[in-house]
Structure 1
C-alpha cells in the first residue's frame, strides 16, 4: 500500500492555525495580517456557513444542525473545504500563505490536516477570559444575525473550546509551536504584539534565503 502523502509541501506552503475562544478577535486580527503580510485568510466557520447556504450542498443541513448546537462539524467536511479553498487561492495566483482561523478544534483534526494537507508553521493563540468573550459576543449579537450568538449557544461554545481546542493548544505548545497573544487588550495593542511575531517570522525567512545563496 502506497504511503499517504500530503497535498502540499511545507517548504512551499505556509499555514498558521489561528485559535482562541469565540469572540477573541481572531477574524479582526487575521484581516490585519492579511493586509500587511500578504496572507490568505480562511475562516473554517465562514467556509462552513457558506457551504450550508450553497444550493445543492450535500453537507448543508448537517452543518446547520452542528453549528446550531455549538458542536464540531465532522472533520472530513471541514478539511475538504479548507483544502479546496487553498487550491483555489493558489490557482488564482495568490501567495501560498494561509491563516486558518478557528481550526483545528480537536487534536484529531490537527493530525488529519497535517497528514492530508500540510504541516502548520505554528499556532497563533489569542488568549482571553470567558467573561470578556461573553460580553463581546452579546454585543456582536445585536447586529450579527448569527444563530449561535445567544447566551445559551455561547456557553456551549465555551465548554466545547475548553474541552477540545485547549488540548490542541497544549499539544502544539509542547512542540514549541504556539505563539500566544494577550487578547484582553485593545485591537491596536493586540495587533502590535501580532506584528512582532510576523516580523520575526519573515526576518527568519529572509535570513535563510540569503544563507542558502551565500552560506559563507
Structure 2
C-alpha cells in the first residue's frame, strides 16, 4: 500500500520540472483578455516596447497560416468559411510553433483563450500563464470607442459590436473567472485615458523590466 501512497508525489515533482518548458527553453506567458474596444492592442504594443515581450495574436497567426497556402491553412480557411470554430489544438499548435521559432522567452498571448474549451486545451501543454491581464471596460465605453474609430472596419456597426460583446461575455468571462479563483488575474481599469492605463500596466510588469 505504501508505494501507492507515494506515487502522486513523484508525478507532481515531474510535472513541476516539465511545466512551462517549450522545447529546450522555459517560457513566461501572459494571457491578455478584454472586450472589443478595450484597448488591448495599444497596451500590448507598449508592453512589447518597454518590457521586451513578444506579442502573439491567435487571430493573426491563423490569418498568416491561411495566407501561407499550406494544407493546414486551407483547412482553417474552409472551417471559417463554413462558420465552424477552428479547433483549439490547431490554434495552440500555431502559438507553440511561434514561441519555439522566436528567440524570446516572454510572450503576450492576445485574445486567447477565448473560451473554457480553449483554456482546458492549453492547460494540456503544461504551460500555465504567469497571470492574466484583463482590460476591464464598460460596454458603453467600448461601444463609444468602436463607433468612433475610423478604421473603415465593416464589422464596426452597432449590431455587430453588440454581438461581439455578447460573445465575449458568454465565452471569455468564464475564463477570467476561472483564473481569478486561482488569484491569477490582474485587472486593469481600461476606461481611463491611454497614458493612465499604461501607468497601471507598468506597475504590473515592473518585475519584467528589461535590464538597462
TM-score, normalised to structure 1, is 0.78
* Structure-to-structure mapping, 1:1-216, within 5 angstroms: 8-9=20-21, 12-56=26-70, 57-58=73-74, 59-64=76-81, 66=83, 73-89=86-102, 93=103, 95-116=104-125, 118-140=127-149, 142-145=150-153, 147-199=154-206, 201-202=207-208
Cα 1:79–1:166 change in 2 (3 A) is: same
Q: 1:35 to 1:161 in 2, by over 3 A?
A: same
C-alpha separation between the residues in 1 aligned to 2:57 and 2:67?
16
How many residues are aligned here?
190
Q: Which runs of 5+ in 2 are unaligned?
A: 1-10
User: Compared with structure 1, are the counterparts of its residues 81 and 127 closer, same or farther at alpha carbon in structure 2 (3 Å cutoff)?
Assistant: same
Question: Aligned pair in 2 of structure 1 residues 143, 178: CA closer, same or farther (>3 Å)?
Answer: same
Contact 1:19/1:123 (CA < 8 Å) preserved in 2?
yes
Structure 1 residues not aligned, in runs of 5+? 207-216
Deviations 1:79-102 (A, max 9, x none): 12211111111xxx3x20000011
Query: CA RMSD, aligned part only?
Result: 2.5
Deviation at 1:189, TM superposition (A): 0.3
Query: Residue in 2 aligned with 1:211?
Result: none
> Using the alignment, how far apart are the partners of 2:152 and 2:81 within structure 1?
16
Runs of 4+ in 1 over 6 A off after TM superposition: none
Q: 1:185 to 1:72 in 2, by over 3 A?
A: farther
* Structure 2 CA distance for aligned equivalents of residues 65 and 34 of structure 1: 35
Structure 1 residues 29 and 114, CA gap change in structure 2 (3 angstroms) = same
State TM-score, norm by structure 2: 0.80
State whether residues 19 and 128 of structure 2, in contact with CA within 8 Å, keep that contact through their aligned partners in structure 1: no
Q: Is the 8 A contact 1:24 1:183 kept in 2?
A: yes
Does the C-alpha gap of structure 1 residues 61 and 148 become closer, same or farther in structure 2, counting only changes over 3 Å?
A: farther
